Amino acid sequence: MTGIWGIVNVTPDSFSDGGRYVDPERAIAHGIALRAAGATVLDVGGESTRPGAERVDASVEQQRVLPVIEQLAARGIPVSIDTHNASTAVAAVRVGARIVNDVSGGLADPEMFGAIAETSADVAIGHWRGPSFDMYAHAEYRRVSREVAGELRERVSEAAAAGIAPARLIVDPGIGFAKAGVQNWELLRGLDDITALGHRVLIGTSRKRFLAESLDGAAEVDESRRDLATAVTSALAVRYGAWAVRVHDVAATRDALAIAHAWEG
């Protein structure tokens, strides 16, 4: 069964829905609605990773996310914590998170892998070359999918050295993170290099700039069109080996996956 991770941004400044769900009760209600629409996991984040975003203190992040995670987990919903911070990861697991989604792949906080190893949580290791405020300065590749795969392999080795069993690992090639425009398409076309690592693969294209640029050649494309483009890319990613996709609009992606499955018989 393909996983659909529904995004719950408990932030004032995320690039797409920042501010909509900063109130915990609204965030919880949104998560419940995403679950009803077909989300298999809810990915809760309290710090924006949009291009140019600045870091927030871990205490602020935890004030945002922990009440939401606790309430969603209490309803039996599988929850992931989207964080760079080891302290937030551990606190989130204590209140019910089952997965730690670190888009930095343990690079932002050197204590991350050791902290996760002491828990029972799985970990999604993202490909990352630097913080959001200057990540595009690192968007230089000769063969993007092979280089991303190689760098993810290094992060997987670090996780294993910290005591995290291979069965607990998920890899994410980090679409949009230190990758500009066409590089994201090149990475998706080279998804075989990522699946060849032998771990579950998580893909997140949701509402990202490169989708809008491919529709009209500009970033100013409305949310509904970005969601349609997300659903298409998510279905294609699953066709080429993704284990799960991370999206804002769960219903659209659920329907796209159902149609793709029907096509394949």
Which one of the listed residues 64, 200, 246, 254 is annotated catalytic? Answer: 246
Please give the pLDDT value at position 176.
93
Question: Comparing C-alpha atoms, which of 148, 195, 140, 136 is closest to residue 174?
Answer: 148
Please give the pLDDT value at position 21.
66
Which one of the listed residues 129, 179, 200, 208 is annotated catalytic? Answer: 208
Q: Tell me the pLDDT band of 242, cut-offs 50, 70 and 90.
A: very high
Cα–Cα distance between 13 and 77 in angstroms, integer? 25
Rg (CA), the chain: 17
Please give the pLDDT value at position 97.
98
Tell me the average pLDDT of the chain. 92
Q: Tell me the pLDDT band of 43, cut-offs 50, 70 and 90.
A: very high
Question: What per-residue string of b and e applies to 205-218 under the rule 16 or more CB within 10 Å gives b?
Answer: bbbbbbbbbeeeee
What's this model's pTM, rounded to 2 decimal places?
A: 0.93
pLDDT digits (tens, 9 = 90+) for 181-223: 899 999 999 999 999 999 999 999 999 999 989 987 666 778 8
Please give the pLDDT value at position 148.
98
Is the pLDDT at 103 greater than 80? The verdict is yes
Angstrom distances, CA of residue 244 to CA of 72, 85, 164: 20, 23, 20
Is the pLDDT at 68 greater than 90? The verdict is yes
Please give the pLDDT value at position 192.
98
Please give the pLDDT value at position 169.
98
Cα–Cα distance between 221 and 210 in angstroms, integer? 11
35 within 8 A of 42, measured Cβ to Cβ? yes
Question: Comparing C-alpha atoms, which of 250, 256, 234 is closest to residue 32?
Answer: 250
Mean pLDDT of 24-38: 96
Question: Comparing C-alpha atoms, which of 37, 55, 36, 35 is closest to residue 45?
Answer: 55
Is the pLDDT at 18 greater than 60? The verdict is no
pLDDT higher at 190 or 56: 190
Q: Cα-flanking dihedrals φ and ψ of residue 122, to 5°?
A: -75, 165
194 within 8 A of 152, measured Cβ to Cβ? yes
231 within 8 A of 249, measured Cβ to Cβ? yes
Tokens of 187: 């990475």
Q: Tell me the pLDDT band of 263, cut-offs 50, 70 and 90.
A: very high
pLDDT digits (tens, 9 = 90+) for 117-146: 999 999 999 999 987 777 777 789 999 999
Is the pLDDT at 12 greater than 90? The verdict is no
Instruction: Return the SS3 of 193.
Output: helix
Tell me whether residue 246 is one of the annotated catalytic residues. yes
Is the pLDDT at 113 greater than 90? The verdict is yes
pLDDT higher at 231 or 131: 231
Tell me whether residue 179 is one of the annotated catalytic residues. no
Please give the pLDDT value at position 223.
86
Cα–Cα distance between 80 and 73 in angstroms, integer? 10
